[in-house]
């Protein structure tokens, strides 16, 4: 060992010792913070499925590849990070001796070949990612980007480290080539040989370049260890457990979509018959009341801003960005952690749990952080502003896009639950809806005995459950379908088509009440449970004696479709629920409905969030429309998984939209930009929102918003003038 190697060895050992010590300390700190969360025992079920999904999602980059160029570039960088970590290890041999290398595999040509090409592709990948970050930097002329609010220096730092580590990998190899210490052939390692041709035959160069590479790598480790909230770096490790513990490992995408989690206390579902707010946790009022998976979610956020770029609230000037919400919760959790780890925290009656002695050594900043309300305005020092909390439509675009499977909607609804159930604090205008749900069983407060009014004037009898011997489908009409004029047209169109196709169906009529979706999404789990239990009882009675596959329900409202199909199981109601567009697509394919006249003028389709993203029904409505228009749909730029919300979900239908541009107007502008004369929808709330948007733009004469079922009916029964049949009948 020469004098240069003695120095490089000492330097490498010293910086590595410091970095490893800090990293161990950081991992212990993060683990301690995450463990502060509430239990979530269900996350340990299905370990096999979880392992498989984690490997597929990480190795295959199945979520990232949706953003194809970024996804491909990130894949090469990720593979480069994992495989080329071996070359960082090899550098420890190279600081000791210029000819050093990894034992055994370090002499295999295949290892040289693989690392060479992963290094080259990693270089290309990181340059692409750096270019994309620079092109989208928030300070660029032209305004907000997905990186707005991200900690930009951290992203630049991580990218430069990757770039320099890769470059120094080739410099080490180059010096080895130049000094004849390199044993891989030119065909396997062309770049290393090219670099070697340009470098002097300086033997010490190998060890010097190796110690620089180690120093860069360890500086990275030191910096991230001193910044445990640096998700852009930590996600390299945390993404694996976060994906492993996702809510539903069976789902291909959107694990945190569809049903909401039941309210839990100490990891057990809350039973409202016995629940006591002084003993049981009602939603989330303190950051440590999220589950440990919630705290892991917050720690894993990479600050990539994909969620933000798709969020309808953020895109229309509201204060909500799902990314910033996650970052606020993360920063608050870590800042408050010293107080919590010292034993601090409030019990459910609001009393401090720790003694003065326990808190005596806690940092003053942590104590101040602990005093901040989780939900509160800037003046109150709140972590999350109420306007942020109530801007969410629960559309799920954030969850859909998040590459590390963060479950934003669950966290938002958990915070809403506490606000509504304990604080009675929510936008006042939604109070009318909640009162109507409690007293009348529907959000409009319409009399229950008018639920069947939509059947009047149809040319056939609509059978009721109990009045018929048997039925194949229970037609769940929904409150909008029963009481709201536009939605009634859809109800009538569906009933007419089912009758035309010879489907045996029956309705509950006055036995139906609201599915409970708006109550659950606003956070009023109590009212949801009340309505849902009643409906589950009614439905179980209606289907008595039938196995699950024969307990078939067709619903026109995607919110009912989601609630009945995905959430009633939590209350003992197992049904096979289809959306009307799925059943209609099946009936057309089976030849039971025959579109005869093409609907012209161009048709575009707006995906309802609770049908599309939340339940992955993208094809059926498009098939029905394709059959009805006998041609191609005109797609909007934001469609299918990336569809843009109408603004009504998450009980936003019942709240005023006071901040920013109206979401429905944004969506209508996009729909109208296609030039289509018909905007087809598959949800009564989308219909209301988009109709309002079209009318607000004074385009009601030129553009029509209409349900997929009505479009099909016009094609199947062209003898009736478009739209008139349903309209007249409703009026009658």
Nearer to ligand SF4, 303 or 704 (CB): 303
Q: Is residue 438 within a helix (H) or strand (E), and if so which, with residue range?
A: helix 430-440
Residue 473's closest CA among 578, 615, 558?
578
Stretch that binds ligand SF4, among 217-225, 305-313, 516-524, 702-710 (CB under 6 A): 305-313
Residue whose CB is less far from ligand SF4, 366 or 412: 412
Q: d(Cα 422, Cα 415) in Å, to the nearest integer?
A: 11
Instruction: Note whether 306 binds ligand SF4 by CB under 6 A.
Output: yes
Q: Which of residues 534-593 bind ligand SF4 (CB under 6 A)?
A: none
**Least gap, CB of 606 to ligand SF4 (angstroms):** 15
Cα 380 from chain centre = 29
Footprint of ligand SF4 on 307-336 (CB under 6 A):
307, 310-313, 320, 322-323, 326
Q: By C-beta, is 390 or 454 nearer to ligand SF4?
A: 390
- Ramachandran bin of 524, using left for φ above 0, alpha for ψ from -120 to 50, beta for the remaining angles: beta
Q: How far is the CB of 324 from ligand SF4 (least distance, A)?
A: 9
**CB–CB of 652/311 below 8 Å?**
no
Which lies closer to ligand SF4 via its Cβ, residue 77 or residue 218? 77
CB 236, min distance to ligand SF4, A? 12
Residues 513-532 that bind ligand SF4 (CB under 6 A): none
Query: For ligand SF4, what does the binding mask look like between residues 675 and 714, x meaning CB under 6 A?
Result: ----------------------------------------
- Residue 318 CB, shortest distance to ligand SF4, in Å, is 8
Could you give the CA distance from residue 34 to residue 294 in angstroms, rounded to a whole number? Answer: 8
Contacting residue, 213, 408, 613, 725, with ligand SF4 by CB under 6 A: 408
C-beta of 147 vs 418, nearer to ligand SF4 = 147
Nearer to ligand SF4, 98 or 558 (CB): 558
Residue 158 engages ligand SF4 in binding (rule: CB under 6 A): no
Interacting residue with ligand SF4 among 80, 112, 294, 305 (CB under 6 A): 305
Task: State which of positions 409-438 bind ligand SF4 (CB under 6 A).
Answer: 409
Q: What is the 3-state secondary structure (H, E, C) of 184-198?
A: CCCCCCHHHHHHHHH
Instruction: Name the minimum Å distance from CB 685 to ligand SF4.
Output: 14
Our CB check for ligand SF4 shows the closer of 294 and 305 to be 305
* DSSP codes of every residue in 483-514: H-HHHHHHHHHHHHHHHHTT--EEE-GGG---
Smallest gap, in angstroms, from Cβ of residue 326 to ligand SF4?
5
Report whether 206 contacts 4 (CB < 8 A): no
Residue with tokens 């952690």: 337
Task: Return the residue matching tokens 């071996």.
Answer: 86
Phi then psi for residue 603, to 5 deg, are -130, 135
Q: Tell me how far, at minimum, the Cβ of 649 lies from ligand SF4, in Å.
A: 8
The β-bridge partners of 681 are 707
Please report whether residue 607 would count as binding ligand SF4 according to CB under 6 A: no
Q: For residues 178 and 201, what is the distance between their CA atoms, to the nearest angstrom?
A: 5
Instruction: Tell me whether residue 12 or residue 404 sits nearer to ligand SF4 (CB atom).
Output: 404
Please choose, out of 114-122, 405-413, 430-438, 623-631, the segment that lies near ligand SF4 by the rule CB under 6 A: 405-413
401 binds ligand SF4 (CB under 6 A): yes
- Give, in order, the Cα–Cα distances in Å from 433 to each of 298, 517, 647: 33, 12, 17
x/- mask, ligand SF4, residues 359-398, rule CB under 6 A, reads: ---------------------------------xxxxxxx
**How does 473-501 read in b/e, with b if 16+ C-beta sit within 10 Å?**
bbbbbbbbbbbbebbbbbbbbbbbbbbbb
Q: Kindly give, in sequence order, each residue whose CB lies less than 8 Å from that of residue 503, ignoring residues fewer than 6 positions away.
A: 472, 473, 583, 587, 592
Number of residues that bind ligand SF4 (CB under 6 A): 29
Q: Whole-angstrom Cα distance, residue 170 to residue 85?
A: 14
In the DSSP assignment, the letter for residue 44 is G
List 94, 159, 288, 303, residue binding ligand SF4 (CB under 6 A): 303
* CB-count burial class (<10 Å; 0-12, 13-18, 19+) for 138: middle
Between 126 and 404, CB nearer to ligand SF4: 404
Residues in touch with ligand SF4 (CB under 6 A): 301-307, 310-313, 320, 322-323, 326, 392-398, 401-404, 406, 408-409
């Amino acid at each position: 060992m020469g004098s240069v190697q003695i120095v490089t060895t000492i330097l490498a050992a010293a910086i590595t010792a410091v970095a490893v010590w800090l990293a161990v300390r950081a991992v212990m700190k993060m683990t301690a913070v995450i463990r502060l969360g509430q239990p979530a025992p269900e996350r340990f079920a299905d370990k096999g499925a979880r392992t498989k999904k984690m490997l597929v999602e990480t190795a295959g980059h199945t979520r990232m590849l949706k953003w194809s160029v970024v996804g491909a570039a990130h894949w090469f960088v990720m593979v480069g990070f994992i495989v080329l970590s071996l070359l960082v290890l090899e550098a420890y041999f190279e600081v000791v001796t210029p000819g050093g290398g990894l034992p055994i595999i370090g002499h295999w040509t295949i290892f040289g070949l693989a690392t060479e090409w992963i290094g080259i592709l990693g270089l290309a990948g990181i340059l692409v990612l750096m270019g994309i970050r620079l092109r989208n930097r928030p300070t660029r002329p032209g305004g907000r980007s997905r990186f707005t609010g991200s900690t930009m220096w951290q992203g630049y730092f991580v990218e430069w480290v990757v770039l320099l580590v890769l470059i120094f990998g080739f410099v080490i190899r180059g010096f080895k080539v130049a000094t004849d210490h390199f044993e891989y052939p030119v065909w396997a390692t062309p770049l290393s040989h090219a670099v070697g041709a340009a470098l002097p035959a300086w033997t010490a160069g190998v060890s010097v370049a190796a110690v620089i590479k180690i120093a860069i790598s360890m500086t990275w480790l030191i910096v991230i260890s001193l910044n445990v909230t640096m998700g852009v770096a930590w996600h390299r490790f945390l993404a694996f457990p976060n994906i492993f513990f996702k809510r539903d490992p069976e789902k291909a995408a959107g694990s945190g979509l569809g049903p909401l989690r039941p309210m839990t206390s100490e990891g057990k579902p809350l039973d409202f018959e016995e629940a006591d707010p002084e003993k049981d946790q009602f939603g989330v009022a303190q950051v440590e009341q999220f589950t440990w998976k919630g705290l892991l979610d917050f720690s894993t956020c990479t600050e990539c801003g994909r969620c933000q770029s798709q969020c309808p609230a953020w895109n229309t000037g509201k204060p909500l960005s799902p990314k910033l919400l996650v970052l606020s919760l993360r920063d608050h959790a870590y800042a408050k952690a010293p107080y919590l780890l010292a034993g601090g925290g409030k019990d459910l009656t609001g009393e401090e749990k720790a003694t003065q002695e326990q808190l005596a050594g806690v940092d003053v900043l942590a104590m101040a952080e602990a005093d901040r309300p989780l939900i509160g305005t800037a003046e109150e020092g709140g972590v999350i502003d109420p306007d942020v909390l109530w801007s969410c439509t629960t559309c799920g675009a954030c969850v859909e896009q998040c590459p590390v499977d963060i479950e934003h909607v669950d966290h938002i609804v958990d915070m809403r639950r506490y606000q509504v159930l304990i604080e009675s604090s929510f936008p006042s205008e939604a109070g009318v809806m909640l009162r109507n749900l409690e007293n009348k069983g529907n959000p409009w407060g319409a009399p229950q005995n008018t639920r069947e009014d939509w059947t009047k004037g149809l040319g056939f009898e609509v059978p009721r459950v109990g009045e018929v011997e048997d039925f194949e489908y229970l037609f769940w009409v929904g409150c909008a379908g029963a009481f709201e004029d536009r939605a009634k047209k859809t109800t009538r169109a569906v009933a007419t088509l089912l009758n035309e196709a010879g489907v045996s169906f029956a309705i509950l009529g006055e036995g139906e009440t609201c599915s409970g979706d708006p109550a659950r999404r606003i956070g009023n789990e109590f009212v949801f449970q009340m309505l849902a239990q009643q409906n589950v009882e009614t439905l179980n009675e209606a289907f008595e004696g039938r196995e699950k596959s024969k307990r078939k329900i067709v619903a026109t409202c995607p919110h009912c479709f989601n609630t009945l199909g995905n959430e009633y199981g939590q209350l003992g109601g197992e049904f096979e629920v289809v959306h009307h567009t799925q059943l209609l697509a099946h009936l057309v394919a089976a030849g039971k409905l025959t579109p005869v006249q093409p609907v012209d003028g161009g048709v575009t389709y707006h995906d309802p969030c609770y049908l599309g993203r939340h339940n992955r029904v993208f094809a059926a409505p498009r098939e029905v429309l394709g059959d009805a228009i006998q041609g191609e749909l005109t797609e909007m730029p934001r469609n299918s998984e990336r569809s843009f919300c109408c603004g009504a979900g998450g009980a936003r239908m019942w709240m005023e939209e006071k901040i920013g541009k109206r979401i429905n107007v944004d969506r209508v502008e996009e729909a109208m930009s296609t030039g289509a004369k018909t905007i087809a929808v598959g949800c009564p709330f989308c219909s209301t929102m988009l109709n309002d948007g079209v009318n607000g733009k004074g385009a009601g004469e030129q553009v029509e918003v209409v349900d997929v079922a009505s479009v099909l009916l016009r094609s199947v029964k062209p003898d009736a003038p478009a739209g008139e049949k349903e309209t007249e009948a409703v009026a009658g």
